[in-house]
Amino acid sequence: MDEERFIKKFEEVFRATPEIISSAPGRINIIGEHTDYNQGYVLPAAIHMSIQFLAGRRDDDRVHIWAENFGDESSFSSRNIPTLRKHHWDSYIKGIFWILEKNGFSPGGINGLVWGDIPIGSGLSSSAALEVSVINGLDMLFQLGIAPMEKAKLSQQAENDFVGMKCGLMDQFISVFGEDNTAIFLDCLSFDFENIPLNLNKYDLEFMVYDSRVKRELSRSEYNTRRSESADADLYLRSFGLPGYRGTTLDMLKMQKDQMDLVLYRRARHVISENERVQKAKQALQNDDFLTLGQLLFQSHVSLRDDYEVSCPELDLLYEFGLEFSGCLGSRLTGAGFGGSGIALVKKKDADVFIREILDLAQKKGYRIPRVFPVKIDKGASTSIL
């Protein structure tokens, strides 16, 4: 339905017919936060919200993109794109052309139309979804023959080196590899992964997203700071002869406490403890043990709030309310933090009351009214010829 409407729009804007449609989802991360760029473990799941990309080849090198959500057009050459680092919605698309060229691929000019229903800047990975929808679309249009994991990695590199956000692989990975009713356990050192069925329906549970609608001004630079702090902490551990995050236990870390800078110590404690929680969460899901999973979500939030310092009062509210509300098994911030979204594992029968009460609470506190809604755990990206 939507598709037909947008094909019409494409034809109106470009006086040409689109050849392909590409779709890539956003995600929630169940657990494993700020671990991906530390060669740790993550456990994300793709959701029903996505970015859609309609495109057709042109005879020249120009790229013309219409972004329906912004009512805005961007036009640039598909080659020699300057890395301006100016943040704009089209940076993610330019970044894909840029990284493809850098890696020896040469997609030509296109007309493209993008739209989507992932709230932008909400921490549900609208940018990764945009990157993945575009790289998949170009791969199909120009028969580039790029393997799925390579697409995720190239998209991540575009975001790291073109957009300037030093993110890990999680968001692009799950957008490519997501599956219906499935979380994916990814080892960010070996890039091995394992599908973990999410039997939420069987137990009448659902994941609720709480989009705080808050975005800290400096979130990108703060993210990059966390990334370098945790890399420093890892180096520090190695300088004591310890094996770094993957081999150091919490007890081993504790023994270094007096020698280490306190901030670096806390960053390391988050990464090491979060990796342990991801492994426990994986096991809990394999046993359909949602009570344990819920406890791990709460613990993860505390660690992100106190040790990694990426929470904010609005997301702490979700955690605190989740602890009190009997129909909620666990809640925590999801994604980078600094505003953005949280998730709560909630009994379906209590979902309406959960939403009503947390909205009331946010209002009483004078916070921006959040968006709170259940998510369907959905499949990863797909592309088809029209």
Task: Please report, for residues 295, 319, 361, the alpha-carbon distance to residue 374 in angstroms, rounded to integers and kept in the order given.
Answer: 20, 17, 18
> Is 171 among the residues that bind ligand GLA (CB under 6 A)?
yes
Burial of 8 (0-12, 13-18, 19+ CB in 10 A): exposed
One symbol per residue from 37 to 76: x for binding ligand GLA (CB under 6 A), - otherwise; what is it?
x---------------------------------------
> Is 307 among the residues that bind ligand GLA (CB under 6 A)?
no
Rounded least distance, CB 230 to ligand GLA, Å: 10
Specify whether the CB–CB gap between 230 and 38 falls below 8 A: yes
Per CB under 6 A, contacts with ligand GLA among 330-349 are 335-336
Specify whether the CB–CB gap between 256 and 240 falls below 8 A: yes
Specify whether the CB–CB gap between 9 and 113 falls below 8 A: yes
Q: Which is nearer to ligand GLA, 21 or 170 (CB)?
A: 170
Rounded least distance, CB 105 to ligand GLA, Å: 23
CA 133 and chain centroid, separation: 14
Give the H or E element holding residue 314.
helix 313-324
> Is 124 among the residues that bind ligand GLA (CB under 6 A)?
no
Piece of 3-11, 48-56, 162-170, 285-293 that binds ligand GLA (CB under 6 A): 162-170
Specify whether the CB–CB gap between 132 and 172 falls below 8 A: yes
Look up 378 and say whether it is catalytic: no
Q: Which is nearer to ligand GLA, 21 or 96 (CB)?
A: 96
Q: Which is nearer to ligand GLA, 35 or 78 (CB)?
A: 35
Q: Which is nearer to ligand GLA, 289 or 309 (CB)?
A: 309
Rounded least distance, CB 24 to ligand GLA, Å: 14
Per CB under 6 A, contacts with ligand GLA among 217-256 are none
Rounded least distance, CB 65 to ligand GLA, Å: 22
Q: What is the DSSP string of 181-207?
A: TEEEEEETTT--EEEEE--TGGGTEEE
One symbol per residue from 23 to 42: x for binding ligand GLA (CB under 6 A), - otherwise; what is it?
----------xx-xx-----
Rounded least distance, CB 157 to ligand GLA, Å: 12
Rounded least distance, CB 185 to ligand GLA, Å: 14
> Is 131 among the residues that bind ligand GLA (CB under 6 A)?
no
Active-site pick, 139, 171, 307, 378: 171
Rounded Cα distance, 351 and 171, in Å: 27
Extended beta strands in the chain, E state: 20-31, 41-57, 62-67, 72-77, 110-116, 182-187, 193-197, 205-215, 328-333, 339-347, 371-375, 382-385
Q: What is the DSSP string of 320-362?
A: HHHHH-TTEEEEEE-TT-SEEEEEEEEEGGGHHHHHHHHHHHH
> Is 168 among the residues that bind ligand GLA (CB under 6 A)?
yes
Q: Which residues bind ligand GLA (CB under 6 A)?
A: 33-34, 36-37, 167-168, 170-171, 335-336
Cite the active site residues. 171
